[in-house]
Amino acid sequence: MYNVKDVVANKPSRFAAGHRMCAGCAAPIIVRMVLRAVKPEDHVVVSNATGCLEVASCIYPYTSWTDSYIHTAFECASATASGAEAAYKSLKRQGKIPEDQDTKFIIFGGDGGTYDIGIQSLSGAMERGHDLTYVCYDNGAYMNTGIQRSSATPRFADTTTTPAGKVIPGKMQSRKDLTEIMVAHHIPYVAQTAPIGTFQDLYEKAEKAIYTEGAKFLNVLSPCPRGWRYNTEELMEMSKLAVDTCYWPLYEVVNGVYHITYKPAQKKPVSEFLKPQKRFQHMFKPGNEWMIEAFQEEVDNRWNELLAKEEMTNK
């Protein structure tokens, strides 16, 4: 077990302060921790899909990125990184880049640019096996453009395109499970994590992903105070509730073998995760108890499926 303060906190940050992300947003914390998992002597090329992170961290002529950085469109962050990684390998073979130079390719995209708009290029990069790491910061909607629903938005959430009212009770569809879709690509490393506690789970999984050869995918819960409508100081509490209710399980899949990295000693009811968020406030009105029950059933079913996969792949 490493000392988090010595190993993580004292590492130089590759993502500088002064960005314009909202107070209470998890995305810059996630980026800083992922990049801290890179060895100080290694170089990084970042491909960043359009989104909150991009518009708030790289406003010409200012930038928070200390490594090589490419802002690319929603749909092609994975293709951009794939091309850069292929070019890097070619230059190394030609002797134009020193053999001992190690460059890591990391992609950052929100759920809109990952689950939806960018899934084609993401799937292609994973299937081809490029040596890169895709990090999705999942805040559950298109937050940058007005809090519209995405396929990562949970059922019954109130968004600007699925407003909870007399016609519909928020988003009617269940959330897409992109982590499992990535597992189905049979890549060497897939993980789901969140910014909680000392960030140990997030840091360790980022380090494993970056230093595993081949295509890797990290899905990181990224609470959003604007879209979820919680108080900014409750960021860490929201992450912890998502994990303790098993709405967002922490696990990794290494060469097809499942490992749940955190199992709550006492699984909390999902209502504790939903209640602090005003996007779910309509679910707590009299007569809407069925929504909470349906949400709980879905969470329980997915958690039980995950437990079964862990048991089956570890025999």
Residues 6 or more apart in contact with residue 235 via CB below 8 angstroms: 24, 25, 26, 29, 195, 223, 225
Residue 278 near residue 296, CB atoms below 8 Å:
no
Cross-strand bridge partners of residue 191: 218, 252
Each of the 315 residues of the chain gets a pLDDT tens digit; together they read: 455 556 677 788 999 988 999 999 999 999 999 999 999 999 999 999 999 999 999 988 999 999 999 999 999 999 999 999 999 999 999 999 998 889 999 999 999 999 999 999 999 999 999 999 999 999 999 999 999 999 999 999 999 999 999 999 999 999 999 999 999 999 999 999 999 998 999 999 999 999 999 999 999 999 999 999 999 999 999 999 999 999 999 999 999 999 999 999 999 999 999 999 999 999 999 999 999 999 999 999 999 999 999 999 998
pTM above 0.85, yes or no: yes
> Is 177 exposed, middle or buried (CB count within 10 Å of its CB: 0-12, 13-18, 19+)?
middle
DSSP letter, residue 15: B
Is residue 215 classed as helix, strand or coil in its secondary structure? Answer: strand
Please, what's the largest Cα pairwise distance for the chain? 70
Give the chain's domains with CATH numbers.
12-313 (3.40.50.970)
CA distance 272 to 282: 15
Amino acid at 244: D
Element (H, E) at 193: strand 189-193
Amino acid at 169: P
Which of 183, 192, 204, 187 has the alpha carbon at shortest distance from 34? 204
